[in-house]
Amino acid sequence: MPFITTSDGVDIFYKDWGTGRPIVFSHGWPLSADDWDAQMIYFLHQGYRVIAHDRRGNGRSSQVGTGNDMDHWVADLAALTEHLDLRDAVHIGHSTGGGEVARYVARYQDRVAKAVLVASLTPNMVQTEDNPAGQPPEWFDAVQAGIVGNRSEFFREVPEGPFYGYNRPGAVPSEAVIANWWRQGMAGSIQASYETVFSWKEDYTADLERITVPVLVMHGEDDQIVPFGSSVPRALEHLKNGTLKTYPGYPHGMLTTHADVLNPDLLAFIQS
């Protein structure tokens, strides 16, 4: 399996398939590159080169005790793009991966053509007077308590409920989707899962404001993890070249549940 080793000795697993213009995918919590399966195979068949990596502490990458934070993840991504010598790339990030993409693009814009933030936590998702639609502080505490209390059980509850919207009236849960989320989450370290929550409390406004390349913001209007009102309108305010695409009723994990809709929308933006 392909790995790169970072300057601080961390092995980062990655997939690199196909040829053509590169599309780089950054996954959400607590998942891995596998969460992009529906997009990787779609864009591979569209003639693109597709790359996805497991963040440190996640999936097949090293489960190290340090660096489970946004700045290290961005440095790891930069090491990967330099190793593969990626230019004119499109970077797509989901959820926590959206923060990773925003900060990476802000710092390494010379390698980037476009970016997409899908159900992204940017610019911030904590409830404050300025962001009343954000998640309250006790919500973050509850996530960390669930990880520490019984991670295996908690990692069933999240996909069974709010992540894919399976707790909504009339929803039809997919056991295969739920099990795949659990599989990916449990492959990572409990420390990385716990410490990733701190990145959700960061403010990414300055990163968004530094980005000049075209950015597509995609968000489901029934997102229970990153509430629509906490990030979407405010993200557009800070982007110099941003476009918004919203999806009524779609959940946080819409890249999986509605790949048939989102993949063509992503393709249209990349080709525009």
- The pLDDT assigned to 233 comes to 79
- The pLDDT assigned to 231 comes to 76
CA distance 96 to 76: 15
pLDDT digits (tens, 9 = 90+) for 69-94: 999 999 999 999 999 999 999 999 99
CA 107 to chain centre: 18
220, 228 in Cβ contact below 8 A?
Answer: yes
pLDDT digits (tens, 9 = 90+) for 212-270: 999 999 999 999 999 998 878 789 999 999 999 999 999 999 999 999 999 999 999 99
- The pLDDT assigned to 234 comes to 87
The band of 196, judged by pLDDT with boundaries at 50, 70 and 90, is: very high
Using CA atoms of 261, 262, 266, 271 in order, give the dihedral in degrees to the nearest 10: 0
DSSP 8-state class, residue 134? S
- The pLDDT assigned to 268 comes to 98
Active site residue 11: no
CA distance 47 to 26: 20
Q: Which of 24, 14, 29, 15 is nearest to 253 (CA)?
A: 29
pLDDT digits (tens, 9 = 90+) for 34-43: 999 999 999 9
- The pLDDT assigned to 230 comes to 86
Per-position b or e across 135-153, b if 16+ CB within 10 A of its CB: beeeebeebbebbeeebee
* 30: preceding bond cis by omega (within 30 degrees): yes
Residue written as token pair 């990349």: 270
Residue 140 scores a pLDDT above 90: yes
- The pLDDT assigned to 99 comes to 98
Q: Which of 122, 118, 150 is nearest to 263 (CA)?
A: 118
Choose the catalytic residue: 32, 61, 95, 230: 95
76, 65 in Cβ contact below 8 A?
Answer: no
Which residues span the domain enclosing 264?
Answer: 3-271
- Six token digits for residue 122: 């940017």
- The pLDDT assigned to 217 comes to 98
Q: CA of 78: how far to CAs of 12, 91, 101, 119, 151, in Å?
A: 12, 12, 10, 22, 30
- Six token digits for residue 18: 């196909």
Instruction: Considering only residues 199 and 130, tell me which one the structure prediction assigns the higher pLDDT.
Output: 199
Active site residue 189: no
- The pLDDT assigned to 189 comes to 98
CA distance 213 to 186: 36
Quick one: what percent of the chain has pLDDT higher than 70? 100
| Average pLDDT score over residue span 141-166 | 98
Residue 1 scores a pLDDT above 80: no
Report the number of distinct structural domains present in the chain: 1
Helices (H), 84-160: 96-107, 137-160
Residue 256: CATH number of its domain: 3.40.50.1820
CA distance 124 to 100: 13
Q: Record the pTM.
A: 0.98
Quick one: what percent of the chain has pLDDT higher than 90? 97
| Average pLDDT score over residue span 138-163 | 98
The amino acid at residue 129 is E
Active site residue 199: no
- For the purposes of burial, counting CB atoms within 10 Å of the CB of 83, is it exposed (0-12), middle (13-18) or buried (19 or more)? middle
| Average pLDDT score over residue span 174-180 | 98
Using CA atoms of 204, 263, 110, 122 in order, give the dihedral in degrees to the nearest 10: 0
CA distance 245 to 230: 16
Residue 193 scores a pLDDT above 80: yes
Mean pLDDT of the chain: 97
